[in-house]
Amino acid sequence: MTARKSAGMIENKRSLARYNDADVAMDQHRGGLHGQAHVQQQLTAADIWRTLVKRKFTILGFTAVVLALSAVYAYTRVPLYEGVARLQIDPSRSTDLGLDDGTKVPGSSTDVDGHVKTEVAIIQSETVATRVMNALRLFSNPHFAGPLAVGTEVTDMAELTPSQRQKMLALFYGSLNVKVVPSTEIVEVRFRSPDPALATEAANSVVDEYMKRNFLARVNGTAQVSVWMSKQLEEIRNNTDESQHKLADFQRYNNLLGTDESDNIVTNRLKQLNEELTQAEADRIVKEGRYRLANSGNPSLIDSMSSSATLQALQSRRADLQIQYSQLGAKFGSGYPKLRELKSQLEQLDGEIQKEGANIETRLANEYQASAKTEDMIRHDFEKQKGQAYKLNENVAQYDILKHEVEAGQQLYDTLQLKLKAAGITSGLASSFVSVIDRASLPDLPVEPRKSFYLALGLGGGLFGGLLLALIRDSLDDTITKSEELEALSALPELGLVPFLPVLVTKEPATLTQSRALLTGSATFNPLVLREPNCPGVEAYRALCSVILQSAAKTLVITSATPGEGKSTVSCNVATVLAQRGRRVLLVDADMRCSSFRSPLGVKPGLSALCAGSTPEYPRYQPVQDLPGLHVVPSGVRPNDPTALLDSNRMQQLMTSWRGEYDHIIIDTPPVLPFADALVLATKADGVILVARSGISREKALLRARDVLSRTGANILGFVLNAVRELEYYYEYPAGYELPAKVDTQARH
């Protein structure tokens, strides 16, 4: 027994180690999804389907409301008839008298689109609307104006007050719809009214008034253009005459006999001087270079630049004497008399050579100065001639400007003269660029309300809104519904899943009454495993007991985070199933604050009395005669401080005594978060089972309960998810297949 317990404790410590590793990640995400495993959980189609099934009443209710509103709207709205007229607006047939400003490109799609939109705006203008209402007397028609209709004595919109006019225009624009058929030049004019005849007349009247307004605008515009062009022609003619006089005076003043500026004396002279200046500059550069070399004083360089016969003869004589001097010096030595004579002759020749070089340098300097002076004179003449050429160019440019003004004025005058004559002829015959394709005909069916469309729209919108509302509600719902969520959230293993059983809802009140009366001897202990031995919930409890047996935990504390999560039901059924397997089981009701299935307040003795030491022995209640191994200890009378009693030495002695007498001790405690009773007993037990209820238990509460238990050093075996509605992997027994209430199902697990 001790070895098996030690092995179970080691395994539980490993589980808690995994929990502690996951707790680091969970603390970082307490405000949202708790734990990295929970964040990485993928949303599958099955999860979405389960969510929709879970929120089906929300979806169906929202859809029903939206569909009902759509039906009310569709069947209570006044029928509206629509008159439709179609126009073609072709800008290529525009009669603008040929006075385009050149900014519009023929055939340009952008220009055509802008022109059509402009005409649509004119159709919807207040001018056209006023003319239509005056022509049809719409302000007096009850089908159009309704309660705003005025008396028949009013004949014009101008007689209405500003407020009435604005209201009539608002009604008109609310009934009128003008739009361009995409990718065409066709414009549809639609007008809606409860009266089909009025809808037809109004649509046709809009077209007629628009075309009338368009025609009058063109005629008036042509007349205004003709008057304006007459004034412009007179001004252009006067300007042209003035320009001609200016041109003649300019020619006479500047002696311009022709307009060919590229062939004249001034430019030819300028070209000639340019060539002479280039030659003089080149000659000056050569002579300046020779002069600079001559200044070096080197006879060899001077001789290379100027072939002087005298200088060459002197240099030849000096070379011969130098040879003789060298030979005699080598033969007779430096004291030889002939050497002094030769040296004197060499010095004399060097002086003559220097004198001849100076003469050549002087001659080259004179040549350089003469060349530079010649260049300066030619450059001065060139600059003077260039100024004359500039002046000639200015005169020619001014002449061209005056000539262009004369020609442009004459050309514009002739063109406008032709246009003016054409405008006088075609002002009343201008063809319109708008043509009527279809006039409005009397409609036979109303266009509004479209009942089937509104109903379909209400159904689709309701379904979509319901789905969206369901997903929003589900995202805001932090209750636990699946074991996968709880396992990823808490990092605790799943010990068992108990499906939702309608039998508990229908029979639970009577069962509680019988359970409470049991300990007084007036009722029979009747938990679910005894009442419905073949239901799926019993199989879940049997599987849970198999897990408990494998964990080797002898003393178990079964608790929950908050009240109402089913911990007492789990405790009762687990104890019963363990007893059915031949174990000696003690079920202790440690919930002294609000016992849910044991004796009511006032029954003595109970656990409170035992812990207080007021009775030497505890009463051993045997609720089921066929299960002699199952005993129950009720909670007894509620004491002033239940936590102190449970943490007393007397309670520790009782648990030690129970360990020696029973195989399993199941302790049902109050919830963890409201009270500390469960924390006291959890440290004394071999293991703790945390019970959560699907659809009721909340994430933060469960995490808080787990953290509190772990800080006290409790050995949390795992969790049991109770009342699971979406459990798909259990089965019902076939019809006629029953299990006896006392069958020992140890072998089946």
Q: What is the pLDDT of residue 342?
A: 75
Q: What is the largest CA-CA distance in the chain?
A: 176
Higher local confidence (pLDDT), 511 or 676: 676
Whether 173 contacts 55, CB under 8 Å:
no
When pLDDT is cut at 50, 70 and 90, the band that residue 723 belongs to is: confident
**Does residue 715 register a pLDDT over 90?**
yes
pLDDT tens-digit map of 236-264 = 777 777 777 776 776 666 555 555 544 45
When pLDDT is cut at 50, 70 and 90, the band that residue 708 belongs to is: very high
Q: What is the mean pLDDT of residues 512-531?
A: 52
The 3-class SS string of 71-83 reads HHHHHHCCCEEEE
Residue type at 261 in one-letter notation? E
Higher local confidence (pLDDT), 100 or 440: 440
Higher local confidence (pLDDT), 459 or 480: 459
pLDDT tens-digit map of 68-113 = 999 998 888 888 999 999 998 887 765 544 444 444 444 444 577 8
Closest among 379, 209, 358 to 298, alpha carbons compared: 358
**Does residue 672 register a pLDDT over 90?**
yes
Between CA 236 and CA 55 the distance in angstroms is 85
Burial class (CB in 10 A: 0-12, 13-18, 19+), 186: middle
Cis omega (within 30 of 0) on the bond before 499?
A: no
Which range of 175-189, 207-221, 471-485, 496-510 scores highest in mean pLDDT? It is 175-189
Pairing of strands 434-438, 176-180: unpaired
Distance in angstroms between the alpha carbons of the first and the last residue of the chain: 21
pLDDT tens-digit map of 211-227 = 888 878 777 767 777 77
Residue type at 212 in one-letter notation? K
Between CA 250 and CA 248 the distance in angstroms is 5
| Average model confidence (pLDDT) across the chain | 76
From 129-133, 407-411, 737-741, the region with the lowest mean pLDDT: 737-741
pLDDT tens-digit map of 45-70 = 877 887 788 788 899 999 999 999 99
Q: What is the mean pLDDT of residues 681-689?
A: 93
What three-state secondary structure class fits 585? Answer: strand
Whether 277 contacts 384, CB under 8 Å:
no
- Global pTM? 0.48
Percent of the chain with pLDDT over 90: 21
**Does residue 331 register a pLDDT over 50?**
yes
Q: Which phi and psi angles does 376 have, rounded to 5°? A: -65, -40
Two tokens, residue 431: 């063809």
When pLDDT is cut at 50, 70 and 90, the band that residue 205 belongs to is: very high
Between CA 679 and CA 688 the distance in angstroms is 10
Q: What is the pLDDT of residue 516?
A: 40
| Residue 698 DSSP label | B
From 106-110, 478-482, 654-658, the region with the lowest mean pLDDT: 106-110
Q: What is the pLDDT of residue 253?
A: 65
